[in-house]
Amino acid sequence: EIVLTQSPGTLSLSPGERATLSCRASQSVNSNYLGWYQQKPGQAPRLLIYGASSRATGIPDRFSGSVSGTDFTLTISRLEPEDFALYYCQQYGSSPTFGQGTRLEIK
C-alpha cells in the first residue's frame, strides 16, 4: 500500500498570501496518478488537481500542482476567503489511498 504523508497538518495564512501544501508518497506513484481535493464542512470532496499537475474542470488557475519524484505540492497562489478548507492528496492507482489532510485556516 502506498502511504501518503501530508504536511503541515495545519496551515495558518491570511487572504492574499500564498499557500504551499506538501504530500510525500512512500513509493513511486504510477503514472503520476496523484490528485488533490478540497473539502468543506458538510460537503463531499471536490477534485482540484489530477495527474499531479492538471487542473480539473472549473478550477481557478490560482491552484496549481507539481511533482518532484515522490514529493507532490499543491500551491494556491493568492488565497481567497473561500479557499480556507481541508485539503487531501490521493493516489488513485490500483489501490487508492489518501493522505491524512492539511487544514488551511485563516490567520
CA distance 7 to 21: 6
> By CB under 8 A, is residue 53 in contact with other proteins?
no
CA distance 46 to 83: 12
The least distance separating other proteins from the CB of residue 49, rounded to whole angstroms, comes to 8
> By CB under 8 A, is residue 70 in contact with other proteins?
no
> By CB under 8 A, is residue 59 in contact with other proteins?
no
What is the grid cell recorded at 78?
Answer: 493568492
- Contacts of 96 by beta carbon, 8 Å cutoff, 6+ apart: 90
Q: How far is CA 98 from CA 54, 77, 79, in A?
A: 18, 23, 24
CA distance 9 to 85: 12
> By CB under 8 A, is residue 10 in contact with other proteins?
no
> By CB under 8 A, is residue 56 in contact with other proteins?
yes
Q: Which of residues 29-48 bind other proteins (CB under 8 A)?
A: 31, 33, 35, 37, 44-47
> By CB under 8 A, is residue 67 in contact with other proteins?
no
**Contacting positions for other proteins (CB under 8 A):** 1, 31, 33, 35, 37, 44-47, 49-51, 54, 56-57, 88, 90, 92, 94-101
